[in-house]
Amino acid sequence: MPQTLSGPNFPAVTGFDLQNLASLALAPSGTSPYKTTYGNVAPRLGLAYQLSQNQAWQTIVRGGVGIFYDLATSEAGNAAEPGLYPFGAAAYGGGTFPLTPAAAAPPPITPPTATNPGEVFAVDPHLRLPYTIEWNVALEQALGKEQGISASYVGASGRRLLQTAALLDLNPSLGYASLLTNQGSSDYNALQIQFQRRLSHGIQALASYSWSHSIDTGSAGSDALTSNMFVLSAANANRGPSDFDVRNAFSAGITWDLAAPHFNAFMNRVLGGWSLQSLFQARSAPPVDVSDTNLYEFSGGLYTDVRPDFIPGVPIYLYGSQYPAGKAFNSAAFTNPPVDPTTGLPLRQGNVSRNALRGFGAAQWDFAVHRTLPIHETLKLDFRAEAFNLVNHPNFGPPNGQWGSSLFGLSAQMLGQSLNGGSTGFSNSGGGAFNPLYQIGGPRSMQLSLKLIF
């Protein structure tokens, strides 16, 4: 369980009942956020059987199954979010600059009370370690001595996965509570086919194809993305395609070491050592979640991703050259779910399921020319010319899924930039994302390199 070496302890709570959280309150300082669990045994079994021992036509069947546990501390850092007790406090107000010393003073960190409602991150005291059961069955067939093909069925089921719920105005003492639970689940099934050729006659190749489907109730444990948040009224309310669900994916790479013509030693030195590398990737479209920007909270203070309703008979997609990549979501196909006339809050979740729509697929061809020039027995010069997205094929980022926004249904970024900053358009390089030049979906770029090997 998470612990602090110095400073305040991680918060613990009492009254953690997902059916009735009205009595949720902070436990005395020093109480463990959740209990240490034992008996998390993770057995694994693998078998292989050779059906045919013919050297040029070997056939092997493989299979395996295993249980894998994750740590529950992966979301512990959310407790240190600014403004959450006991690691911080927040104050809101206006004024003019420069601020007075009193206005600029940091607010004191005090426990939430009825007279001073606060914000807290709480963990289910009965939290258990999340786990995944994984299994696979594969048939490998040799095609001669240097190459082979394999077909695999791969599956996984995640249970007790970490998922966060958030509630506003939970009770007089808590204006906001972020609740970490074990309510998440996931399922993955895939057919994976691979062709591999080992280096022979200067050529090696690897090609892979997967036909898969990933379903879950949330693709992340935190509440940073509201579409992944747990809905208290129904554990499977958000069950749908995973954020990373790509049904079809294909990649192929080949390396060809060019043979030098046998004229003389000088020509062999000039024309030898060249090789070509080629990589092609293609995939179908990932899902896009549609949220209703007019609504953000359900009755009872549940803060989550509110989705709209479909309008029957209205086309969901629009096509034409006036839209980026020739495709857009139709704003007229959606409407607000029914709302309470008194509070203005939705009475139910919209009938647009989580991650219901699809944006754009992607395809890219990368190419490189490489040469190793021997200078001395222990000294070599390595030259490489690389082109990414050689044909400059345009790949578009996912359309905006915020219904009610002026940009709804339109792709506003190329794929490489959207992977860097997400659908918001803000750069996320500092958050672990790659620069657009170093991942799929950017414009054509080229680079030259020299490396001295000694």
User: Is residue 160 domain-resident?
Assistant: yes
Instruction: Return the pLDDT at 72.
Output: 86
| Distances from the Cα of 161 to the Cα of 75, 164, 193, 225, 380, angstroms | 11, 10, 29, 16, 51
DSSP at 141: E
Identify the domain containing residue 292 by its residue range.
13-309+353-453
Whether 327 maps to a domain, the answer reads no
* 425 assigned to some structural domain: yes
Q: How far apart are CA 363 and CA 251, in angstroms?
A: 10
Alpha carbon distance 336, 410 (integer Å): 20
Q: Give the pLDDT of residue 429.
A: 43
Q: What is the mean pLDDT of each run of 10 residues along the chain (454 residues)?
A: 79 88 87 89 96 88 97 82 81 77 84 83 92 98 93 97 88 87 95 94 95 94 82 81 96 91 69 89 96 85 87 97 95 94 89 95 96 85 93 95 94 88 48 68 92 90
Q: What is the pLDDT of residue 434?
A: 65
Q: If DSSP codes are grouped into helix, strand and coil, which group holds residue 304?
A: coil
- pTM, 2 dp: 0.87
Does any domain span residue 59?
A: yes
Residue 362, domain CATH: 2.40.170
DSSP state of 361: -
- Per the listing, tokens 């960190």 go with 109
Phi, psi of 428 (to 5 degrees): -125, 25
A 10 A CB-CB count for 427 gives 14
- The answer to whether position 5 is within a domain reads no
Q: Number of structural domains, the chain?
A: 1
Residue 425's pLDDT is what?
43
Cα 394 from Cα 410, distance rounded (Å): 15
Q: What would the two tokens of residue 271 be?
A: 């024309």
| 342 in any annotated domain | no
Q: Would you say residue 303 lies in a domain?
A: yes
Domain assignment present for 317: no
Contact call for residues 397 and 417 (beta carbons, < 8 A):
yes
